[in-house]
Amino acid sequence: MARPQRNNVDYFPFYCEDGEKMFYLEETYGNDGFATFIKLLRELAKTDYHFLNLSKPSTKMFLSAKCKISKEILESIINDLVELGKFDKTLWKENSIVWCQDFIDSIQDAYLRRNNNCITYEGLLQHLISLGIRKQVKCKPKVDVNTQTKLKDSKEDETKKELPIVYRKFDHLSITIDEINKILELGYKMVQLTEIMDSIENYSKNKSYKSLYLTSLNWIRKKHPEVEEKDNQPEYDSKGKIKIDFGTQTTKY
C-alpha cells in the first residue's frame, strides 16, 4: 500500500541577497526582525498545508516565545510583512492566518520530487471553510489574475472565459473547486473527502476511472451513508405526526 501523502517539507530555499523587505525589518526591529521572519518560514515549512493559524492567543504566545520576542512585537512584525506584501492581507485581517505565496512558490520542487501536490491558495480557502475558520462564499470571489486561468476566445468577440479552478490532480484524474463544493453541500466534511481522494489516488486500479468527482462521490456515499440519510429523515410535529409538505418540491444542487 502506498505511503500517505505528506503536506509539509523538511527544507526551503532562502536567497542570500538582502532585499528591501529584509532591510526594513532589520532597520526597524534589529536582528529580531530578521530572525523572526526566518522562524516564521520554518514554522510554515513544518506545518501541514503551510499556513499558521494565530487566532488563538495561546498559539500566538507560544510562537512569540519560540521567536524570543513579545507577543506585541510578533504582531507588529507580521503586520508589517502583510503591508509589505509578503503575507496575504485578507487571510491575516479576517482570520489571523499567516500565508506566504512566495514561500509556496519556492517549495514546488520538493513536491515535484515526491510526486505530490502542494496546496494552492484556492485549496487553502476550501480547507479553512471545512475547518469552520472561514465561511462559505455563495458567489465566486474576485481573485488576482495569477490565481485564475482565463481563456481568450478570439473566434467570437474576444470574450474572456474563466476555466474551472482545479483543486486536486493526480495521474489522469482531477477535481475542481466547484465539484468539491457540490460534494460538501451534501453534508460531507472536507476531512472525509480528503481521505476518500487519498484512497482513490493510492488505488492500484484507478486508471479505469474517468471522473475524480463522480468516483469520489460514489466512494464517500458508500463509506459514509449516514450523512445523506439524515437529510431524508421525516419531520414530526408537536403531536408526533409526520409533517407533509404539499408545496413545490425543490432540488438541492
Write down the pLDDT at residue 232: 56
User: Domain coordinates of the chain in residue numbers?
Assistant: 20-112, 138-231
Whole-angstrom distance, CA of residue 147 vs CA of residue 127: 16
Q: Is the pLDDT of residue 16 over 70?
A: no
What confidence tens digit (pLDDT) does each residue in 54-103 have?
999 999 999 999 999 999 999 999 999 999 999 999 999 999 999 999 99
Q: Give the number of other Cβ atoms within 10 Å of residue 115's Cβ.
A: 9
Write down the pLDDT at residue 3: 64
What confidence tens digit (pLDDT) does each residue in 164-190 have?
778 888 888 999 888 998 899 898 988
Whole-angstrom distance, CA of residue 78 vs CA of residue 91: 12
Cα angle 6, 9, 14; round to 5: 160
Cα–Cα distances in angstroms (integers) from residue 86 to residues 21, 37, 134, 224, in the given order? 8, 10, 21, 41
Helices (H), the chain: 20-29, 31-46, 57-67, 71-83, 89-95, 101-106, 108-113, 121-130, 177-184, 190-202, 212-223, 225-231
8 A C-beta contact, residue 110 and residue 11: yes
* Nearest one of 18, 22, 19 to 40, comparing CA atoms: 22
Q: Is the pLDDT of residue 38 over 70?
A: yes
Q: Read off the C-alpha cell for 183.
A: 460534494
Write down the pLDDT at residue 177: 86
Whole-angstrom distance, CA of residue 193 vs CA of residue 105: 26
* Nearest one of 83, 69, 72 to 38, comparing CA atoms: 69
Q: Read off the C-alpha cell for 136.
A: 462559505
Is the pTM of the predicted complex or chain greater than 0.85? no
Write down the pLDDT at residue 84: 92
Write down the pLDDT at residue 160: 45
**Mean model confidence pLDDT for the chain:** 81
What is the DSSP-derived secondary structure letter of residue 168?
Answer: E
What confidence tens digit (pLDDT) does each residue in 116-159 have?
889 999 999 989 998 889 887 654 444 444 444 444 444 444 44
8 A C-beta contact, residue 99 and residue 90: no
8 A C-beta contact, residue 166 and residue 122: no
Write down the pLDDT at residue 17: 57
Q: Report the DSSP beta bridge partners of residue 152.
A: 160
Q: Encode burial over 8-47: b for 16+ CB neighbours within 10 A, e otherwise.
A: ebeeeeeeeeeeeebeebbeebeebbbbbbebbbebbbee
Instruction: Tell the burial category of 117 from Cβ atoms under 10 Å away from its Cβ (0-12, 13-18, 19+).
Output: middle
Q: Is the pLDDT of residue 204 over 90?
A: no
Write down the pLDDT at residue 6: 85
**Within 13 Å, how many C-alpha atoms sit on residue 18's CB side?**
8
Mean pLDDT along residues 226-253: 55
Q: Report the DSSP beta bridge partners of residue 197.
A: none
Calculate what percentage of the chain has a pLDDT beyond 90. Answer: 45
- Backbone conformation region of residue 90, classed left if phi is above 0, alpha if psi is from -120 to 50, else beta: alpha
What is the DSSP-derived secondary structure letter of residue 69?
Answer: S
Write down the pLDDT at residue 95: 95
Write down the pLDDT at residue 112: 85
